[in-house]
Amino acid sequence: MCNPADIHIRDTWLHHLSVNKGLSKHSLRAYRTDSQGYLEYLHEQDTPLNKSHKNVVRGWFRELLAPPRGGKPISASTLSRKRSTIRNLHQWMILHGHGKIDPTSNITLPKIPKRNPKFMSIPEAAKVVENPSQEGVFQIRNQAILEMIYGAGLRVSEVANLNVEQVDLKQCMVHVVEGKGKKDRIVPFGPPAAIAIQKLLNGPTHPNVGALFLNKFGNRISTRSIWQICNDSGKENGVFGLHPHAFRHTCATHLLDAGADLRSIQEQLGHSSLSTTQRYTQINTAALLESYRRAHPRIDRSDDDG
């Protein structure tokens, strides 16, 4: 149960995020889930949303990190996301006259270790993409999906939302319509992806119009199904824990290794900030350092195990 007035404020805020900020359905779902937990806690504490304060927020965080009924505590990264959610909510409330303070300000959280994106080697990526899961027409479809994620560096939602007319097989270009932040971009992909997509379109069941990637019922494939395809294809080729982001990160890393500049990679991936793209330089630098230590004649490797 939640206070109806609080629910109205929260729903108006979510509408603002959807219409004015152009957040994806996935992001909106996360914002709704996080804020719902917060509103339920406020209701338990008999505290209206516009009267929330730091002690209430700290109490919610303590309960999330150490659930009173023996539940599983959340991770530091999830807690950080939840704080970001309710901070956004309270700052919007202040801006629109629904509140006067942001109770999340100056509340410290556990430090979260930075993790570089996971990526595959070139042989691993080639093996997975060329030998996807399933058989027959679905294997053809899956290869086209993996080739597009790896070849163009698209997000999983962008792949699922592709229509046939957005892909130029002659020019090897794809028009991403309303990607993250509802931004359009046109990016290249490689000939292997063009060959895989052409094979898919030449199949007996594809209508050649509308959604490019279809499920077994002939409807647009879901992002959940693409996640499963990535994971299953990885398992069948001895590469475990794969997800669409891993293919996207692999695309960026291999572009960087081949000499592409960060600005070009930023445009390819559709990052709004160059700092997001710069994560890949950390991977590239680490690999370079390791190669240097193995190969340079002036490195004394006799102490490596000491």
Residue 245 annotated in active site: yes
The mean-pLDDT minimum among 109-118, 174-183, 291-300 falls in 291-300
Residue 8 annotated in active site: no
Helix (H, G, I), strand (E, B) or coil at 81: helix
Annotated catalytic residue, options 83, 248, 249, 254: 248
- Which pLDDT value is given to residue 305? 43
- Which pLDDT value is given to residue 283? 54
Q: How far apart are CA 142 and CA 247, in angstroms?
A: 13
- Which pLDDT value is given to residue 21? 85
Burial class (CB in 10 A: 0-12, 13-18, 19+), 193: buried
Residue 248 annotated in active site: yes
Annotated catalytic residue, options 155, 206, 249, 254: 155
Domains in the chain and their CATH numbers?
4-95 (1.10.150), 122-291 (1.10.443.10)
Mean pLDDT over 238-260 rounds to 87
- Which pLDDT value is given to residue 306? 42
Residue 271 annotated in active site: yes
Q: Quote the DSSP letter at residue 182.
A: G
Closest CA to 226 of 126, 131, 123, 148: 148
Annotated catalytic residue, options 32, 185, 245, 279: 245
pTM of the model: 0.60
Residue 115 annotated in active site: no
pLDDT tens string 199-219: 999 998 999 999 999 999 999
Annotated catalytic residue, options 180, 206, 249, 254: 180
pLDDT tens string 267-298: 888 876 766 666 665 555 555 455 445 554 55
Mean pLDDT over 171-176 rounds to 92
- Which pLDDT value is given to residue 279? 67
**Cα 192 to Cα 148, 172, 199, 273, 286, distances in angstroms:** 9, 10, 11, 29, 29
- Which pLDDT value is given to residue 109? 78
Q: Quote the DSSP letter at residue 106.
A: T
Annotated catalytic residue, options 87, 235, 243, 271: 271
The mean-pLDDT minimum among 5-9, 124-128, 178-182, 300-304 falls in 300-304
Residue 280 annotated in active site: yes
pLDDT tens string 67-85: 876 678 888 888 989 999 9
Centre a 10 Å sphere on the Cβ of residue 20 and count the other Cβ atoms it contains: 8
Q: Where are any strands of DSSP class E within 138-266?
A: 167-168, 173-176, 185-188
How would residue 255 be classed by pLDDT, with cut points 50, 70 and 90? confident
